[in-house]
Amino acid sequence: MYRAQSPPRKYEEHAYVLDFNPRGKSSTVRGREGIIVTAIGEDRLTLLEVLGIPNSTFEIGEKIYIGKDGRTKVLSVLGKMEYEKISSSAQSELPTVVENIVTNNESKFVEYLNKAQPLTPRIHALELIPGIGKTYMKTMLEEREKKKFESYADLQERVGFKEPVKHISERIMDEITGESRMNLFVKR
Task: Tell me the helix, strand and coil percentages in the chain, rounded to 5.
Answer: 35, 20, 45
pLDDT at 182: 77
pLDDT at 178: 86
Residue 68 and residue 110 in one domain: no
| Beta carbons of 50 and 15 less than 8 angstroms apart | yes
Domain that includes residue 54, residue range: 14-85
pTM of the model: 0.89
Query: Would 116 be classed as within a structural domain?
Result: yes
Query: Residue 123: CB partners within 8 Å, gap ≥ 6?
Result: none
Q: Which of 85, 114, 138 is the last residue of a domain?
A: 85
pLDDT tens for each residue of the chain, 188 residues long = 555 555 566 789 999 999 999 999 999 999 999 999 999 999 999 999 999 999 999 999 999 999 988 899 999 999 999 999 999 999 999 999 999 999 999 999 999 999 999 999 999 999 999 999 999 999 999 999 999 999 999 999 999 999 999 999 999 999 999 877 778 888 76
Residue 62 and residue 96 in one domain: no
Among 115, 116, 62, 96, which Cα is nearest to 165's? 96
Beta strand residue intervals within 26-73, DSSP E: 33-41, 47-52, 63-65
Instruction: State the Cα–Cα distance between residues 72 and 87, nearest whole angstrom.
Output: 25
pLDDT at 17: 98
pLDDT at 46: 94
CATH number, domain of 121, equals 1.10.150.280
Residue 100 and residue 41 in one domain: no
Number of structural domains (the chain) is: 2
Helices (H), the chain: 88-104, 106-115, 134-146, 152-159, 164-177
Query: Would 182 be classed as within a structural domain?
Result: no
- Tell me the pairing of strands 14-25 and 63-65: antiparallel
Residue 61 and residue 106 in one domain: no
CATH number, domain of 22, equals 2.40.50.140
